[in-house]
Amino acid sequence: MALRTLIATHECVQEYERAAREHQDAGLILLADGRAQGVALMALSVEMVLKSAYFRFIGYAATQQIAPVDLRAAVVDTQSLGVTDSPEGYHNLLFWANAVVSAHRIGVPPRTHTGVGTLPAVSAAPMSVQDEVELRTRAGRLRTNWSIGDRYKAIQPHAAKQDLEDVFDDAVLIVELYDKGKI
């Protein structure tokens, strides 16, 4: 059987979570070996966790498909909440961190352009100030160490130990916030 037939048929919170764990596990191994390639895997895992946090918060079921129309709607909703970061093709870690914080702080307006129909307004459920600061700070620093545009560039075989430790710390903290239901 071809590997492609074993890959999930559509994006959803559940698949984001599964893929995030796989990317994080592989990234941890590479980072522990001092390999800069682990940075991309850790950042991708955080991207998926942040998307999961956003869509879960606004009411998507674990297996509900997240289609391109839903990603576009998330950008419109997030911009209406005052987030000015570019989504960078839906891969910007700081955009998604700010989307999560803003949705928690302000709520999300109702929308009718989802892949499955109307999404009702989502009430605010504020995060703690400490969690907001940690999420934004860690996502921002991780964003300085990795960008989706880097995927087509050669990665130095070894990065500075401190940078790799920062990536590890930032990614692990964001995943822990998610696992504890804080984001």
Give, in order, the Cα–Cα distances in Å from 51 to each of 29, 44, 56, 114.
24, 11, 8, 15
Task: State the amino acid at position 66 in one-letter form.
Answer: I
**Shortest CA distance to 180 belongs to which of 131, 139, 136?**
131
Two structure tokens written together for 179 = 């696992």
- 152 vs 165: CA distance, rounded Å: 23
Neighbours of 155 (CB within 10 A): 15
- The residue behind tokens 């998610």 is 178
- Residue 113: the pLDDT is 57
Residue 6 above 80 pLDDT?
Answer: no
Across the chain, mean pLDDT equals 88
Confidence label for 146 from pLDDT (cuts 50, 70 and 90) = confident
Neighbours of 122 (CB within 10 A): 18
Summarised one tens digit per residue, pLDDT across range 95-117 is 999 999 999 999 887 776 555 55
- 176 vs 147: CA distance, rounded Å: 22
- 158 vs 33: CA distance, rounded Å: 9
